[in-house]
Chains A and B, each alone.
Chain A
Amino acid sequence: MITDTEKRIREEFPLINSTTLAYLDNSATVQKPKCVLDAVSRYYENDNANPMRGLYDLSLRATEDYEKARSAAARFIGAAPEEIIFTRNASESLNLVAYSYGMNFIKEGDEIIVSVAEHHSNFLPWQQVAKVTGAKVIWYDCEEDGRFDLDTLLGLLSDKTKLLAITQVSNVLGRVNDVKTMAKMVHEKGGVIVVDGSQSVPHMAVNIKDLDADFFAFSGHKMYAPMGIGVLYGKKALLDKMPPFLYGGEMIESVTKERTTFAEVPHKFEAGTVNAGGAAGLLAAIEFIEKYGFDFITKREDMLTKRAFDRMKEMPFIKILGGEKAEDHHGIIAFQVEGVHPHDVSQIFADSDIAVRAGHHCAQPLHKHLGIMSSTRMSVAFYNTEEEIDRFIEVLSGIRSRMGY
């Protein structure tokens, strides 16, 4: 039985509302509410022109829609609109920082500290920067329970430290990292902190000024917006001194055959025709989240997490990655089933009409650090139901017997 509240939420999501699938792969991407889909259609049906180009009303409306989305994204994380750059996704945001900031302001002998829990998208760009500049990547390991010890960080920091790359919430462990304190520690050494907010922004209130992060990246598609729109926040002073990442249309001030001057931030970083439809969707997604509010969303997701976690803890053949308490997991539980490979686990779930993820979740260094190859991950969004969690638990408890144990 689903509750009235659950019914009301689920009716907002056409896909969720029309399937029996228990969708528990929300860390990968979430389903989209009707209001977001409508906002994208509305943009293309009423306001579509190339933003920032035309002097006619339609193009002005397209520009206005696009800039309204930027303002909303800024408000959502407590930033100023000129500090918000639209990208395709968090990966592109992080690449922008690596190529524009990293390649130009990091030098041979400098050190880049990368947390071992990073999604590959907040590690590979830094590996490239190190390779090209001659800087060194230093690993910031987590404890066995997934906690990042601040004393460990203190031991890694030095005058050579130029940058710390860390996620606010790991896509495997689900734990919230104390990036605010880490930012302070890195700043004391004169370095910058690059925070991956992909798994935090959709599920908890984030205030970027409070965190004092220098760069902060997240994807729209994990927060109810369409795929193909993402955000990079950067401190204005840093963005101003960084060269463009991509060159092309509408990112210039003037171009001659000899030289070009570039537009102001954020437009300097948005070459080519932008994803205005996606931005309209992102605006609607932000308003959708604000309608429910994080008090409600986070509480529901924590409740669902705890419902699954506490039952999983009772199963002797389940090993959960990361913290020992449900409160450490924030909607994400990655686990191993003794004797059953994660791909077989997720196959059985799939055939039981439940979607979970199996593999390394783009976090191979973390899995290696924890001494395993891969894991299965369930992750919730606030539209999931208690009944779905119970179905998940029922299938999980029978997996070993279905595999012949």
Chain B
Amino acid sequence: MSTNTFYNEIINEHNLNPYHKHSIEGANFSLEGVNPSCGDDIILNLKVEDGVITDGAYEGDGCAISQASADIMLDLIIGKTKEEALHLADIFMRMIKEKISDEEKEELEEAGILESVSHMPARVKCAVLGWRTMSEMFGR
């Protein structure tokens, strides 16, 4: 697999100009996620009202994959219920670690572009950092 296809415009755009990398007011869920071996470090902040994620953002540092993946995740889960977000996290993890159906991949929307990480064992922990942190935050 060539990097020319992997570090594509979508990943680069989410890494360089992240939409959700900032602080937010009124977050009631907050958790730090770290990959100690490579220094990826994010703090995920979510605002959940009546079971619905109404706002979310992250702060931190790390490689393009960890940062872009967290940004893409927030695009996807803001406006969804906790259960829907956890359902998407489950699909995302299976996409990276095993295999998912075409229908499931469609549910992931833009996050589906990270599927190729499943062939890059050293980068799996980068891609799942945001999703893992969100799942932990909701008690999974």
Instruction: Give the CA-CA distance A117 to B63 in the complex, in Å.
Output: 24
Inter-subunit contact B4/A402 (CB<8 Å): yes
Instruction: Give the CA-CA distance A402 to B62 in the complex, in Å.
Output: 17
A-B contact pairs, 16 of them (CB 8 A): A341-B61, A343-B65, A343-B123, A343-B126, A344-B64, A344-B65, A347-B7, A347-B120, A351-B1, A351-B2, A351-B3, A402-B4, A403-B12, A404-B9, A404-B12, A404-B15
Q: Which residues of B contact A352 (CB under 8 A)?
A: 3
Closest CB in chain A relative to B123 CB, distance in Å: 7
A367-405 CB contacts (< 8 Å) to partner B: 373-374, 402-405
Closest CB in chain A relative to B60 CB, distance in Å: 12
A113 at interface, CB cutoff 8 A: no
Contacts A347-B123, A359-B37 hold; do A373 and B16 have CB atoms under 8 A apart? no
B19 at interface, CB cutoff 8 A: no
A348 at interface, CB cutoff 8 A: yes
Contact of A343 among B1, B12, B63 (CB under 8 A): B63
Q: Which residues of A contact B62 (CB under 8 A)?
A: 341
Contacts A347-B123, A373-B39 hold; do A404 and B3 have CB atoms under 8 A apart? no
Q: Which residues of A contact B38 (CB under 8 A)?
A: 342-343, 358-359, 374
Chain B's interface size range is 20 to 34
Contacts A403-B64, A404-B13, A404-B16 hold; do A344 and B7 have CB atoms under 8 A apart? yes
Q: Which residues of A contact B37 (CB under 8 A)?
A: 359
Closest CB in chain B relative to A113 CB, distance in Å: 27
Inter-subunit contact B15/A403 (CB<8 Å): yes
**Dominant secondary structure of chain B at its interface with chain A:** helix
Given contacts A341-B63, A351-B2, A373-B39, 9 further A-B contacts (CB under 8 A): A341-B61, A344-B7, A344-B64, A347-B3, A350-B3, A351-B1, A351-B6, A402-B3, A404-B16
How many A-B residue pairs have C-beta atoms within 8 angstroms? Tell me.
Answer: 54
- Which 7 residue pairs across A and B have the least CB separation, nearest first? A404-B12, A351-B3, A341-B63, A373-B39, A343-B63, A344-B64, A348-B3
Q: Which residue among B12, B16, B39, B122 has the maximum number of chain A CB atoms within 10 Å of its CB? A: B39
Q: Which residue among B6, B7, B13 has the maximum number of chain A CB atoms within 10 Å of its CB? A: B7
B43-77 CB contacts (< 8 Å) to partner A: 61-65
Q: Which residues of B contact A347 (CB under 8 A)?
A: 3, 6-7, 120, 123
Inter-subunit contact A373/B64 (CB<8 Å): no
Chain A's interface size range is 10 to 19
Q: Mask for A315-342, Cβ within 8 A of B = 1, else 0?
A: 0000000000000000000000000111
Q: Which residues of B contact A374 (CB under 8 A)?
A: 38-39
In the complex formed, the residue of B with least CB distance to A395 is B3
Instruction: Give the CA-CA distance A342 to B122 in the complex, in Å.
Output: 13
Inter-subunit contact A341/B64 (CB<8 Å): yes
Contacts A351-B1, A351-B3, A373-B39 hold; do A344 and B63 have CB atoms under 8 A apart? yes
Q: Which residues of B contact A343 (CB under 8 A)?
A: 38, 63, 65, 122-123, 126
Closest CB in chain A relative to B103 CB, distance in Å: 30
Closest CB in chain A relative to B37 CB, distance in Å: 7
Q: Which residues of A contact B61 (CB under 8 A)?
A: 341, 373
Contacts A348-B7, A351-B6 hold; do A405 and B63 have CB atoms under 8 A apart? no
Instruction: Give the CA-CA distance A374 to B15 in the complex, in Å.
Output: 18
Closest CB in chain B relative to A402 CB, distance in Å: 6
A53-94 CB contacts (< 8 Å) to partner B: none
Closest CB in chain A relative to B122 CB, distance in Å: 8
Closest CB in chain B relative to A14 CB, distance in Å: 25
Instruction: Give the CA-CA distance A343 to B123 in the complex, in Å.
Output: 8
Instruction: Give the CA-CA distance A373 to B64 in the complex, in Å.
Output: 15
Q: Which residue among B2, B3, B62, B122 has the maximum number of chain A CB atoms within 10 Å of its CB? A: B3
Instruction: Give the CA-CA distance A404 to B4 in the complex, in Å.
Output: 11
Instruction: Give the CA-CA distance A233 to B7 in the complex, in Å.
Output: 48
B1-35 CB contacts (< 8 Å) to partner A: 1-4, 6-7, 9, 12-13, 15-16
Q: Mask for B87-124, Cβ within 8 A of A = 1, else 0?
A: 00000000000000000000000000000000010110
Closest CB in chain A relative to B17 CB, distance in Å: 9
Q: Which residues of A contact B6 (CB under 8 A)?
A: 347, 351
In the complex formed, the residue of A with least CB distance to B67 is A341
